[in-house]
Amino acid sequence: MPTLNEIRSTFLNYFAKNGHEVVPSSPLVPRNDPTLMFTNSGMVQFKNLFTGVETRDYKRATTAQKCVRAGGKHNDLDNVGYTARHHTFFEMLGNFSFGDYFKKEAIPFAWELITKDFGIDKSRLLTTVYHTDDEAFEIWKKVGVPEDRIIRIATSDNFWQMGPTGPCGPCTEIFYDHGEHIWGGPPGSPDEDGDRFIEIWNIVFMQNEQFEDGSMRELDMQSIDTGMGLERIGALLQESHDNYDTDLFKALIEASAHVTNVDPYGDQNVHHRVIADHLRSTSFLIADGVMPSNDGRGYVLRRIMRRAMRHAHLLGAKDPVMHRLVPALVQQMGAQYPELGQAQALIEETLLLEETRFKQTLDRGLKLLDDELAALPEDAPLPGEAAFKLYDTYGFPLDLTQDALREKGRVVDTEGFDAAMAEQKAKARAAWAGSGEAADLAVWFDVLDVAGATDFLGYDTEKAEGQI
């Protein structure tokens, strides 16, 4: 069975052979793009090529792109540990045409690669097209997909957008049916969130540009943007429906089992999965220059780190463990991504410092949470003030508290949380105003509201969709 590293190479070589330039992954922090929190797909670095603002000496490209989906428009943080196919960090394999080939070539390229080079059983595959896209429907028929396995979808699932603005277009997706033994329904059905039918490849027909005011224009040239999750195709080629069963994830899960001394595949497996996933996003974000902080990108990083640390705590880890997992990650991915090895010491130090600090309040915070819950009726939501106290005093990001409660089938009163947050802000304002320099400080606070630079503004800033 091919390893993830081998599958990545097969993909890139296939498109290189077909006239594509192999372009390195761009960093996770998009350059000059304040509308986007993290690079969340392969097309991000090519945005200006699709709109025609920029041209290069190639019209076809292929990449393995580092992606993080843990904030903004595409956010899969809450899926991790609950689905077999989502990560916060993953690699997106893609091929791109900038005003060169379009639908007629893109669909056969994808079909040939997965059915011939990868040898996937055709009878297990189905595809979706945007409901009005007869052309894509016909091309799928022509390559040999039976009509009843080409599903027309009218929702945004088949209209791809990177974020609130930018190039976008209708798309077609390729799904693999893992079989009846796994729960889930075909795309477009009420059970589509299950893991039976897994989307492996998304092919976008880039023909529009979306603007901030909601309007859209037709692009002058027609382009192709595709994305296939390496971990998903990897699971398939390693005969599993579960990304966490791939060679790379097994190595990370075993490392987590080793440092916590807890069986990797027993009933605690979910904690190992979350740790393995969050180790990757955390390490790659730090390697790309993000540091944990209380606002913007840094706060998303901190949230991911602390979530992982809570799961390590649930595995009984007394001492910090996350930093001890970094060598296993570097061993798995360092050859493809040298920045990981270069930043290894920084990643380890940052994890150790953050985990040491968070451990000082984690135990007490979790105890407070248990006490609060014990004092409440069975399914009452956790009061907003309690969640706010956990946030403010114990350093629990709201989503960490929600994650902890989800295991118990409980929720947070988020309105109450927001109210407590607003109240604290107002108090802080009043306290400053009382210091005698009210006029100047009012301006200063307005600036902070926009820029978001203090502890208590952190959560607010982060909540703004796709913005920092």
Residues within the interface to ligand ATP (CB under 6 A): 41, 69, 76, 85-87, 90, 92, 199-202, 227-229, 231-232
Q: Which does 208 bind (CB under 5 to 8 A by kind): Mg ion, ligand ATP, none?
A: none
Q: How far is the CB of 229 from ligand ATP (least distance, A)?
A: 3
Q: Is 128 in the site for Mg ion (CB under 5 A)?
A: no
Selection from 269, 233, 303 nearest residue 462 by Cα:
303
Residues in the chain: 468
CB of 39 to ligand ATP, least distance (A): 12
Residue 260 touching Mg ion (CB under 5 A) = no
| Cα gap 127→357, rounded to integer Å | 48
Give 336 or 361: the residue with its C-beta nearer to ligand ATP: 336
- Helices and strands counted in the chain (H then E): 16, 9
Burial (Cβ within 10 Å: 0-12, 13-18, ≥19) of residue 298: middle
**What does residue 467 show for φ and ψ, rounded to 5 degrees?**
-120, 155
* Cβ pair 294, 355 in contact under 8 A: no
Q: Tell me which stretch binds Mg ion (CB under 5 A): 31-39, 42-50, 197-205, 331-339.
A: 197-205
Residue in the shown chain whose Cβ atom is closest to Mg ion: 202
Which of ligand ATP, Mg ion, none interacts with 149 (beta carbon under 5 to 8 A by kind)?
none
Q: Is 202 in the site for Mg ion (CB under 5 A)?
A: yes
CB of 24 to ligand ATP, least distance (A): 18
The candidate with the shortest Cα–Cα distance to 44, out of 198, 215, 166, 221, is 166
Which CB, 153 or 219, lies closer to Mg ion?
A: 153
Closest CA to 197 of 211, 183, 218, 217: 183
Is 127 among the residues that bind Mg ion (CB under 5 A)? no
- Asked if 226 interacts with Mg ion (CB under 5 A), we say no
Distance CA(306)–CA(320), nearest Å, equals: 12
DSSP state of 132: T
Q: Cβ closer to Mg ion: 120 or 312?
A: 120
What burial letters (b/e) apply to 13-24, b meaning 16+ CB within 10 Å?
ebbeeeebeebe
At residue 265, φ and ψ (nearest 5 deg) are -115, 20
Q: CA-to-CA distance for 407 and 409, rounded, in angstroms?
A: 6
Rank residues 244 and 337 by Cβ distance to Mg ion and give the closer one: 244
- C-beta closer to ligand ATP: residue 92 or 113: 92
Smallest distance from the beta carbon of 158 to Mg ion, in angstroms? Answer: 8
Residue nearest to ligand ATP (CB): 229
**Cβ nearer to Mg ion, comparing 135 with 157:** 157
Nearest to ligand ATP of 64, 448 (CB atom)? 64
Count the site residues for Mg ion by CB under 5 A.
Answer: 2
Kindly report the backbone phi and psi dihedral angles of residue 454, in degrees, each rounded to the nearest multiple of 5, phi listed first: -115, 165
Q: Select 202 or 210, whichever has its Cβ closest to Mg ion.
A: 202
Supply φ then ψ for residue 315, to 5 degrees. Answer: -85, 5
Query: Residue 228: which of ligand ATP, Mg ion, none does it interact with, CB under 5 to 8 A by kind?
Result: ligand ATP
Please give the Cα distance from 237 to 85 (Å, whole number).
Answer: 14
Shortest distance, position 143 Cβ to Mg ion, whole Å: 19
- Where along the sequence are the contacts to Mg ion (CB under 5 A)? 199, 202
